[in-house]
Amino acid sequence: MKKALFPLAAMALAGFALVACGNTTNKADLRPAKAFSLGETSKTAAGFDLFSTHRVNLYDGGVYEYIQTSITYGYSMNLGTTVTTTYGTYAENGTEDGVASYTLNKAAEVVLSSYSQAGGFKLQVNTASSKQTYPAELPAKTQGEKNMAQSKEDVIKEYGNGTKIFVSNNIISFKDPNGGSEKAVVSTPSGSVSSILRDFKQVQVSSSISGTGMVNYAVDYLHVYSDDSYEYVTTGITYGYSMVLGTTSVVNYGEGSYGKSEDGYTPFEMKEAKDVILNSYSQAGGFSLAINTASADQTYPAELPAKTQGEKNMAQSKEDVIKAYGAKTTVWTSDADCVMSLKAPN
């Protein structure tokens, strides 16, 4: 099964690329040209732990895909999981003292999935879908509240604000390390994102929390498109000693097929990935790794996240990367809502 690997200071996060409808360009040419990530932890207003990952994929042609995942943890349980994917245009601002800056304009489209097994809610909104209706429920800001979006614009206002990112060693910062500024809010509207946006057949989410002492927080995110191709996103943080020990993002792209529905779930088999994009880093451990098997600039041997402390785990080829992170696997997609299972539910 295509599961996140959780070494001492790293977990797996997978991002995804999108291909234009009707475009005959080779799909490998439409993978992100650059990908960056960030894992962080904070406290909610109610004092619960909030574990978040951020991933920005930059495509040739000036279009970005920004994936944010979060798990809210309290009362020894997962209180809620939310994944938002925003699409917009970006500008490259140059590099200063080794730090590259990009402006992400206000989103053109937002895809949101949010659920809580503890709270009993399962929400999904896709502003790009012709089937999306309004009012649409968004995740509540306070307990018991109904947070309703009356329009696409309300969703984008809530989840699609633009920002600036600063990147060093493939790690995102929202504050300029050369200027100490606060996180920027960019209101410039985006242009067309049709070059990467595809029709979704399904968007599915699963999350987990495991371990004691050092705890692993993971979110699995699946996009299935109209031609049954997939992009599989696993996001994760390893947390311990009151700090984020590691964040790893792995991007799997490939083809898939559905099985027969049974008891409310339909198996979806992801064939071996055709490409993998991986970002892994630890500010505590001092490493930063990046691999893009779709890039002509990728060289081998390439370092992968260590399986044991102190080990050097080297991929000698694209095939080694795919073997480590892109093996064929099956998940069980829900027929009724956005929450999938990583193992057979029956």
Kindly report which listed range (81-90, 163-172, 219-228, 300-309) carries the lowest average pLDDT score.
300-309
So what's the pLDDT on residue 27?
52
Average pLDDT over residues 31-53: 90
Per-residue pLDDT tens digits for 263-294:
999 999 999 999 999 999 997 878 899 999 99
**pLDDT at 17 (0 to 100):** 32
| Confidence band for 167, pLDDT divided at 50, 70 and 90 | very high
What integer is the mean pLDDT of 79-96?
96
Determine contact, residues 125/112, Cβ cutoff 8 Å: yes
Backbone angles phi and psi of 322, in degrees to 5: -65, -40
If pLDDT is split at 50, 70 and 90, which confidence band does 310 have? confident
Q: Tell me: pLDDT of 76 over 90.
A: no
Please say if the pLDDT value at position 23 is more than 80: no
What would the 3-class secondary structure string for 128-173 be? Answer: CCCCCCCCEEECCCCCCCCEEECCHHHHHHHHCCEEEEEEECCEEE
What would the pLDDT profile of 251-269 be if each residue is shown by its tens digit? 899 999 999 999 999 999 9
User: By C-alpha distance, which of 268, 285, 187, 177 is closest to 224?
Assistant: 268
- Give the 3-state secondary structure percentages of the chain, helix then strand then coil, rounded to 5: 5, 50, 45
Q: Does a cis peptide bond (omega within 30 degrees of 0) precede residue 301?
A: yes
Name 111's bridge partners: 85, 126
Work out the number of other CB atoms within 10 angstroms of the CB of residue 291: 24
Q: Which tokens in the block code for residue 233?
A: 């996103």
Q: Return the SS3 of 318.
A: helix
| Higher-confidence position of 341 and 28 | 341
> What DSSP element (H or E) covers 324?
helix 318-325
pTM above 0.75, yes or no: yes
Cβ–Cβ < 8 Å for 165, 68 = no
Sort strands 243-258 and 275-282 into parallel, antiparallel or unpaired.
Answer: antiparallel
- CA–CA gap between residue 258 and residue 228 (Å, rounded): 8
In the predicted structure, residue 4 carries a pLDDT above the cut 50: no
Q: Predicted confidence band at 29 (pLDDT cuts at 50, 70, 90)?
A: low
pLDDT band of residue 28 (cuts 50, 70, 90) is: low
Q: Where are the domains of the chain?
A: 27-334
* Burial grade of 287 (CB within 10 A; 0-12, 13-18, 19 or more): middle
